[in-house]
Amino acid sequence: MTHTAPHILYEDNHCLAACKPPGLLTQGVPEGIVTLESLVKDYLRQRHGKAGRVYLGIPHRLDRPVSGVVLFARQTKSAQRLAEQFQQRQVAKVYWALVQGHVEPAEGVWEDWLLKMPEEARSAVATPDTAGSKPAVTA
């Protein structure tokens, strides 16, 4: 997968919002894996002429297969405040899905069981009786 410069939607001294394309990790371990975080850090180094390390706080993430907007904090105080807002559910999130055909009901709650696959840096749908699986609910 080829990665280009990130699409920046908003930037100020406190935070930065960037589009995350599907298939790209928000952040990664080990170092050297291309992630949205590494692309945004490269963008900030170039934009602001920084040679050293660039701080980015990540108060939330998006799963690898999905696209969407990721909000980064550019200062530790901003990261703390944003993390609190996400933890206290003060941030409104909207999830969209593209489907084929007519889906009933038109809205509701999606429930599944997921199993982390750390060797692949992803999760897979599982059954409730699969060892290590955990419930996942999206409302």
| Residue 29: DSSP 8-state | S
Report d(CA 39, CA 20) in Å as an integer: 10
- For 112-129, b/e burial (b = at least 16 CB within 10 A) is ebbeeeeeeeebeebeee
Whether residue 55 contacts residue 74, with contact meaning beta carbons closer than 8 Å, is answered with yes
CA nearest neighbour of 58 among 19, 15, 101: 15
* H or E stretch at 117: strand 110-117
Active site residue 12: no
Catalytic residue among 12, 42, 63, 112: 63
Active site residues: 63
